[in-house]
Copies of this chain bind each other. A is one copy, B any other.
Amino acid sequence: MDSPEITLANYEAVAEVANAAQATADIGLFTTNNLWILVATALVFVMHLGFSALEAGFVRRKNVVNILFKNAMIIGIGLLTYWFVGFNLMYPGTNAGGWFVWPEFLLHPTAADMTPAYGDYTYWSDFIFQAMFAATGATIVSGAVAERIKLESFLIFAALFVMIAYPITGFWKWGEGWLDELGFYDFAGSTLVHSVGGWAALAGILLLGPRKGKYTKKGIRPIRGHSMPLAAVGVFLLWFGWFGFNGGSVLSANPEYVSLVFTTTSMAAAAGAIGSAITGYLMFKSHDVSMVMNGILGGLVGITASADAVSVNSAVIIGLIAGMLIPLSITMFDRLKLDDPVGATSVHLVCGIWGTIAVALFGNFESGIGQLSDQLIGIAAIGAFTFSFSFLLFFLLRKTLGIRVSEEEEEKGLDIGEHELPAYT
């Protein structure tokens, strides 16, 4: 090109290169963002394993197969019902600011859905990530009602809960319903997932009553889990999965946010462990490993609402307080004779509420008081709906199929009673 003149052909060639480069760069960023949603989906899946191991470890040997059966079925039921109706109920794409949209059944992605103009993720990534989330709510309930609930009643509850209750309150916020319009903030679901599971657990616990022999005239009898290693494996896997649960909730691989979320999530879990261990030691004068485990989980639940919206220093404080709440809450529920074999209400309900409040306390909002009010409205509305739905459903099941196994079966264990198979030989 030794002439100082530029031909039109040359010019057009450069324009083409520039446009092609932009297109490749767009596809590249889209590919990375989408890949992260998928990897996060796999990590959220691991949480199902984490819950299974945790709950199986915290129950007695005679009820282990029952927990494993329920939790394996919940993933199957959860994914299928979410495909059948839940996804459309939660993300109707219409009625912004509303309360409910009558859903379509099954998935009908349009041609536009299938050709994303290089947004952050595909239709199917969106669906499968959300579907993995949905099933976790029911898994939380599973542990709280363990060792005494009838299998079939529980599976019916889980199916309807994942299919109807979770998506409706999910729509209120993540589906751009009325709570979203209000300004309620819940990044990855301290309320929308965890306290929702916790309220359902509470309804179940109330209607089921405590396990035989837990609350006696002589006081509260601790019923120990049958395998601490299994429970510990579960807790570690939950932490691992939470990288996807919170990190994936950024809904892209945005470096600024995903990096912050990984850090706040980990620091809150770490602080939760220490907060619970110290408080537990002061209360019980004992180095209780189950407090450390539930402290980690409490810290994780606590940071979930605000993981992208608070500083790392604030995350430490949020996690520490969540951890401190664990032994207090476990003691409180026991005093109220609300028997929760795995501590799910303390971890998911109490720390879920705490985390949702913490958003307003530590986040950077125009009006902290205004935000606090929005958070409390969200907590109350979602709590009222979920608890009522769950209570009514468990109540109807109690009136029909029954929800509690016979005393004899409870004594013998549900593994033999419901499955004719011991967990160990």
Interface residues of A (CB under 8 A from B): 1, 3-8, 10-12, 14-15, 17-22, 24-36, 38-39, 41-43, 45-46, 48-49, 52-53, 56-57, 60-61, 64-65, 68-69, 72-73, 75-80, 83, 106-107, 116, 121-125, 127-128, 131-132, 151, 224-230, 232-233, 235-237, 239-240, 243, 247, 253-256, 258-260, 262-263, 266-267, 269-274, 277, 286-290, 292-293, 296, 312-313, 316, 418-425
The CA of A45 and the CA of B296, in the complex, are separated in Å by 14
Residue pair B263, A127 in contact (C-beta under 8 Å): yes
Are A258 and B227 in touch, CB under 8 angstroms? no
The CA of A226 and the CA of B17, in the complex, are separated in Å by 64
A317 CB to closest chain B CB (Å) equals: 12
Question: Which residues on B sit within 8 Å (CB–CB) of A38?
Answer: 243, 247, 258-259, 262
Contact present for A128 and B266 (CB under 8 Å): yes
User: Taking the nearest CB of chain B, how far is it from the CB of A36, in angstroms?
Assistant: 6
Known: A22-B21, A31-B33, A73-B273. A267 touches B83 (CB 8 A): yes
A270 CB to closest chain B CB (Å) equals 4
Alpha-carbon gap, A207 to B289, bound state (A): 27
B259 in contact with A125 (CB, 8 Å): yes
Cα A77 to Cα B116 with chains together (Å):
44
Tell me the smallest distance from the CB of A218 to a CB of chain B, in Å. 18
**Residues on the B chain within 8 Å of A25, using CB:** 21, 24-25, 28
Q: Could you list 18 A-B pairs, sorted by A, with CB under 8 Å?
A: A3-B8, A17-B18, A17-B22, A27-B29, A32-B32, A32-B253, A35-B35, A42-B240, A49-B237, A61-B425, A64-B229, A72-B289, A107-B313, A122-B256, A132-B266, A151-B287, A228-B423, A289-B419
Cβ contacts under 8 Å, A287 to chain B: 69, 151, 418-419
| Copies of this chain, count | 3
Q: Does B230 contact A229, Cβ atoms closer than 8 Å?
A: yes
Find chain B residues with CB under 8 A from A418 CB: 287
A313 and B106: CB pair below 8 A? yes
- Give A156 Cβ to nearest chain B Cβ, in Å: 14
Contact of A424 among B29, B226, B273 (CB under 8 A): B226
Q: Given contacts A35-B253, A68-B228, A229-B56, is CB(A20)–CB(B22) below 8 Å?
A: yes
What's the nearest-Cβ distance from chain B to residue A346, in Å?
17
CA distance A367 to B45 in the complex (A): 37
A289 and B68 in contact (CB under 8 A), knowing A56-B229, A80-B274, A254-B31?
yes
Determine the residue in chain B with the shortest Cβ distance to A7. Answer: B4
Give the distance in Å from the alpha carbon of A41 to the alpha carbon of B240 in the complex.
10
In angstroms, Cα B11 to Cα A56, docked, is 67
- What's the Cα separation between A253 and B123 when bound, in Å? 15
> Contact between A425 and B226 (Cβ–Cβ < 8 Å)?
yes
Contact B31 A312 (CB under 8 A): no
In the complex the two chains form, is A34's CB within 8 Å of B226's CB?
no
Bound complex: CA A39 to CA B40 (Å): 10
CA distance A99 to B127 in the complex (A): 42
Check A72–B296 contact: CB distance below 8 A. yes
Query: Among B6, B32, B151, which residue has its beta carbon within 8 angstroms of that of A35?
Result: B32
